Amino acid sequence: MEEYREYKTLMLILTENCNLNCVYCYEHHKTLDDMPFETAKKAIDSEFQDLDQYEHGEIELFGGEPFLNFPLVKRIYDYVMETYGKDNDIVFSTTTNGTLVHGEIQDWLRERKDNFIVTLSLDGTPEMHNANRPLLGGQGSFEKIDLDFFRECWDRCCAKMTFSNKNIGNFADGVIYVDQLGFEPLATFASGMNWEGAETRKQLTEQMQKLVAYYVSNPDKKLCQMLNMNLALMFYPVDDDFRYCGAGLRKKCFDIQGNWYPCQGLSPLTVGKEAAKQFCNRDFFDFRLSQDNPCRNCRWVRLCRTCYAANYLETGCIERNCRDMCFINRLCMLACSKIKFERLLRKKELSKDDQLEMRAIIQIQQSVLDDPM
Amino acid sequence: MSLTLNANDMAKLKNMLNDSEAMFGEVHNFKPEHVVFACTCQGNCDGRTSGCSWG
């Protein structure tokens, strides 16, 4: 599996504790417990013993909210850089709710911003964000975030945006707001929500139309994550190398006990101790789409945004996609195809690579005529 | 803005495709240079921007 050896990613769940109570949180088994440093050290040493065979190593510090245990963040960083950083390219990353990133934490991050990449969870306008992401006491968390700090430290700092059914009626406004704030919107729809119903679909469609208009009138803007698709992928057949993501292959997630799982979505923090046993020490090298999986013969499967853990939580099976997501995925493909068409029109010269994109746009658009959404 | 192409746009696109086929020959298959995942973030998960879209 040489192709997977460019880098090695190790995720450490530093704490199962969080100071927020987000409406869509998938971590249903939170505790107040943290990972002991010795557990982190053991995981790092076991994973990085062959680091010289990789281009670089990445450590993701995850939670809960990782900065609830800032001393542990610092201790792990210092240990890794002293032990492995002299001979290897090491990148740290974390996802934070931002509410604790002030004062000493800001000073520390500012000094390390070149190899410590921070992604901020930010759900759109203050109203949208606060509806989704209240503090444990119920107050909104938006005002607790120092947005300027994140913008100053990281160019186009990534903002992980999650849409719930509380803010579906203005998700386009949220993406545009975050984009114009100077963040890179990584927008996605929460799993575990009910996206059924004619009114929901109407709202989703209207918002997507608004987003398309924004990107068409701003042709140089990078598309937000959910619309940023390589449409040519639909001409890349599903084979034995097909995977939903890099979980288990490129990434191992260690929980606070030091056990590893393919990703945090399949760890005890998310699915509970009993259910997580089946995923403990499991890579996905042997993963195959079953012959009877309807997605296997779907022509959009390479474009469809699918997640093992979301599937498990929704359907009880890692390879079975939640059917609600079919509509959302098709909507994203359709929106992407419209924007790409408008952008192709603006190109002075078309390349050979554009041909597949044109072919994909025609097929996606035709599919809506044949099978209206 | 509509998400679908109207008949004129569709015709325009098909003409562009015909021109491309005349210039470059017909291209039907695609194989990306790197391993590509169809996950929620299409591979961003393993880049330097951390985590998957769940994070």
Say what the pLDDT of residue B51 is. Answer: 44
Nearest CB among B27, B46, B51 relative to A355 is that of B27
Q: For residue A103, give how far its alpha carbon lies from the nearest alpha carbon of chain B (Å).
A: 23
Complex ipTM above 0.90?
no
Q: Which chain B residues have a beta carbon less than 8 Å from that of A307?
A: 39-40, 52-54
Q: Are A190 and A163 contacting, i.e. CB atoms less than 8 angstroms apart? A: yes
Say what the pLDDT of residue A63 is. Answer: 92
Q: Do B3 and A209 touch (CB under 8 A)?
A: yes
- pLDDT of residue B39 exceeding 90: no
Q: Do A95 and B53 touch (CB under 8 A)?
A: no
Q: Which chain A residues have a beta carbon less than 8 Å from that of B40?
A: 188, 245, 305-307, 310
At a CB cut-off of 8 Å and minimum separation 6, what does A188 contact?
A: A160, A161, A162, A163, A225, A226, A305, B40, B41, B53
Handedness of CA A239, A303, A267, A14 (dihedral sign): positive
Q: Which chain A residues have a beta carbon less than 8 Å from that of B5?
A: 338, 341, 361, 365
CB atoms within 10 A of CB B36: 18
**Spans of chain A, pLDDT less than 50:** 1-4
> Across all residues in chain B, what is the average pLDDT?
74
Handedness of CA A217, A219, A222, A224 (dihedral sign): positive
In terms of DSSP bridges, do strands A158-163 and A116-121 run parallel, antiparallel, or are they unpaired? Answer: parallel
Q: Do B49 and A216 touch (CB under 8 A)?
A: no
Q: Which chain B residues have a beta carbon less than 8 Å from that of A241?
A: 35
Say what the pLDDT of residue B36 is. Answer: 62
Tokens standing for residue B18: 């015909």
Say what the pLDDT of residue B37 is. Answer: 62
Q: For residue A39, give how far its alpha carbon lies from the nearest alpha carbon of chain B (Å).
A: 21
- pLDDT of residue B41 exceeding 80: no
Nearest CB among A7, A118, A245 relative to B37 is that of A245
CB atoms within 10 A of CB A248: 23
